[in-house]
Structures are given as structure tokens and as C-alpha cells.
Amino acid sequence: MQQDWNIKSRSEACDATGRPFTEGEIFYTALFRDAGGFRRLDLSEEAWNARAADPAAEAIFSSWRSKFELPPPPAPETLRRDDAEGMLRQLMESSDPAHRNTRYLLAVMLERKRILRPQPSPEKGMLIYERAVTGETFVIEDPQLSLSDLVAVQEEVSSLLSGMTGIASAAPAPTSEAATESAI
């Protein structure tokens, strides 16, 4: 099942009360699964506690607690548009199932660079990430890649990031395990 979801970015105000968050304030993010995908709510601590006390409250798919940080002013674009994050955003918009492995590898790369933070996901095979600075949510399918798959996927990512016109096949190429591990 291939699905990608567009989930709104972190709010700068409580979705329940409309009160703006202040720098350093603790708030809660809740994801709800609807027929059309996911819906995100950012709630102040007071709204979160009121929701928890309401027995008729809608069931939450996933939630986490964060400290609100004002987003920095937009910096002049110094990176090329074909950087890893830009490429992930393009591939998320396209939802092409042929790029499932590439989306996964780009998300893991961005997690290792601490650009994306993993969040709890109750559903096996699905990864939820939050962008550290903006609070945007990314839902990525985990393709359960083996070591032998990684070289071909890494070649595809390198090809896409370098701006080459052809896209490498996502099929695993025959390779030694040592070469695969060095590619990671």
C-alpha cells in the first residue's frame, strides 16, 4: 500500500483556543487518522488536559510533547534546490510508488543530520517525522530495505541529487555486503 500524506505544519497558536504559543511553552501535537489521511492538532497544555478529561474525545492516532520555538526568519536560499530535503519534498508531492525507497532513504539521511526528528508511530511500516525547525510533519512508508537494496537506492538518490536526467532503477543491484555497508 503506497500512500503519502500532506499534514499541516506546526501551528503558532493552540488549535483549540486560538491563543498564540509563547517561546519555550510546552505544547502537544496529536495526529488523527481520517478517511482522507491524517489531521494534525497542536494544543496548549491546558487544552490537552481538558481534552484528556473529555470521555467523548476523538481517538488519537499518535501524539507527542514539544517545546515551542519561534521559527527563525527565512534565510536567503544558500542551498541548491536539489538538496536532500528539497528532493524529499518533491518526491512527497509526486507520490510516485517507484520512489518509495528513495523517500525512505532521504528521510533517514535527514534524521541522521538532525533535520527530521522521529515521532511515535503506532502503525508498523509507517514512520512519522517532524522537521525540527518548522514543525512540519512527514509520514513515510518504511519499505523494509535489506542491505543488498541500499546500494541501488543510494545510487538513485545520488543521481537525483546531482541533477542527472536518468533515474537509477530501484531494484537491488548485485553487490557485496562490505560495499553496501560502506555506502551507508
Residues of the chain with pLDDT under 50: 1-2, 78-82, 164-184
pTM for the predicted model, two decimal places: 0.50
Contact 87, 115 (CB under 8 A): no
pLDDT given for residue 6 in this prediction: 62
- Residue 114 is classified by DSSP as T
Q: Does 4 reside within a domain?
A: no
Q: Is 102 helix (H, G, I), strand (E, B) or coil?
A: helix
Q: What one-character-per-residue DSSP string does 21-55 give? A: P-TT-EEEEEEEEETTEEEEEEEEHHHHHHHHH-T
For the chain, what is the total number of helices (H) and then of strands (E)?
A: 5, 7
Question: How many angstroms separate the Cα of 143 from the Cα of each of 23, 36, 45, 64, 153?
Answer: 37, 22, 36, 24, 11
pLDDT given for residue 3 in this prediction: 53
Q: Is 123 helix (H, G, I), strand (E, B) or coil?
A: coil
pLDDT given for residue 156 in this prediction: 80
Say how many domains are in the chain. Answer: 2
pLDDT given for residue 163 in this prediction: 67
pLDDT given for residue 25 in this prediction: 95
Q: Could you report the per-residue pLDDT of 111-134, keeping only the tens digit for each?
A: 988 889 999 988 888 899 999 888
> Is residue 99 domain-shared with residue 177, that is, in the same domain?
yes
> Is residue 22 domain-shared with residue 91, that is, in the same domain?
no
Q: Which domain holds residue 177?
A: 84-183
Query: Which residues have CB under 8 Å from 174's CB, separation 6+?
Result: 148
Q: Does 47 reside within a domain?
A: yes
